[in-house]
Amino acid sequence: MIQTLRVFALHNHSLAVGMCFFSLSLLMGTWVARIPDVQLRTNLSDGQLGLSMLGLSFGALVSTFLSGWILNRLSVHRAVLWSGILFCLSIIAPAFAYDQWSLLLALAVLGAANGFMNVSVNAAAAAIEKHARLSIMSACHGMFSLGGVIGAASSGWIASTGLALPWHFIVMAFLTVGLQLALRPILRQLPDTSSTSTRLALPTKSKALLVLAFISFCVILCEGAIADWSAVYLRKNLGSDAFLAGLGYAGFCLTMALGRFSGDVIRTQWGTVRTIRGGALIGAAGLLLLVTATHPIAGVLCFVLVGIGLSTIVPTVFGAAAKTPHVQPSIGLASVATAGILGLLTGRLLVGNISDWLGLQVALAFTAVLVLLAAGVAGKIRVSE
């Protein structure tokens, strides 16, 4: 992990792209910590809120298709800069939503901008890996998780001070736009790389790839549920204040960051199957403990445990998808990415409605079952090590 951080400290291009990953998650962490306030402002039930949050996934799905076309016409540095500015400004929109449909529209815009920036920064990291021969992808995802920690923790504290939601989001938007503009001189020096297809594809022939896609579906559904519902669960079910509610997602992101910074070492020592299976079992245990917790601090610690378990699974799944026998790496990566987006869509559709019918505890227990299923099928993974 120390060697990984040294790369960011000494390589300007890696540091700049890592900071873009950081700002992407910083704003998403800000959004997550203020979801209960948005729900209160719009007077939505859990089911209505879950439906509105589908806008995030639909927006991301649309921008996934369009980003490939855009990246073929823009240099990498322009894509990173303009997608970053667009995303930073779009965070303001949900703060002014007044009902279910205005929130759905605002989150669709936010999701589309998020998806475009996500594709752009990953393309930039891939360009650096190719031209500078550095391995930075896992570290960039670690910076992403670190941004979520700071965004959620700081926003939980800001929410506890009573600062109005619109002012909070406006200030964060302009701070992060300033960061993007400050990074522009370094981003302009980014190497370009030929784009690969970003069309979404579902695996249909390789059983090993189907297994990886299923794991991606289950785990990313769970990660999305934690992002969307952690603060709501801590405040409504466990009676926490606004600050502790933000700490749940912050703790989850912190252990996700630490796990991802250490992910290459873990995967080398344990292997692909054991890394995924062990992580899934730890994550499921954290979720099952969460739904039995009765104190908000215990709930925060459970989210920390879930982060420890899930941290290395998605990077490991993406790495395995690129090494699946008899499958082109681009097809493997597109397949697990598609499954992940479908997991987010499904989770946002189901979790809120299950919460309305049976309670949020049951909805989160449902995600634990999915993670256990992912652990169960991990033994069928086949990779060309």
Q: How far apart are the first and last CA of the chain?
A: 22
pLDDT band at 3 (very low <50, low <70, confident <90, very high): low
Q: How far is CA 371 from the centre of its chain?
A: 16
From 80-94, 191-205, 281-295, 363-377, the region with the lowest mean pLDDT: 191-205
Q: Which two tokens stand for residue 49?
A: 């809120």
Phi/psi of residue 163, nearest 5 degrees: -60, 135
Contact 152, 60 (CB under 8 A): no
Each residue's pLDDT tens digit, 17-58: 889 999 998 999 899 889 989 999 999 988 888 889 889 888
Each residue's pLDDT tens digit, 289-300: 999 999 999 999
Q: Is 162 left (phi over 0), alpha (psi -120 to 50) or beta?
A: left
Each residue's pLDDT tens digit, 252-264: 988 998 888 876 6
What is d(CA 174, CA 198) in angstroms, rounded to the nearest whole number? Answer: 30
Tell me: pLDDT of 7 over 60: no
Contact 211, 381 (CB under 8 A): yes
What is d(CA 196, CA 199) in angstroms, rounded to the nearest whole number? Answer: 9
Tell me: pLDDT of 144 over 60: yes
Each residue's pLDDT tens digit, 233-257: 999 899 888 888 888 888 998 899 8
Each residue's pLDDT tens digit, 165-196: 999 999 999 999 999 999 999 888 887 655 44
Residue % of the chain over a pLDDT of 70: 88
pLDDT band at 204 (very low <50, low <70, confident <90, very high): low
Please give the C-alpha separations between residue 249 and each of 255, 263, 320, 357, in angstroms, as whole numbers.
Answer: 10, 20, 27, 24
Please give the C-alpha separations between residue 269 and each of 142, 263, 327, in angstroms, as whole numbers.
Answer: 19, 10, 25
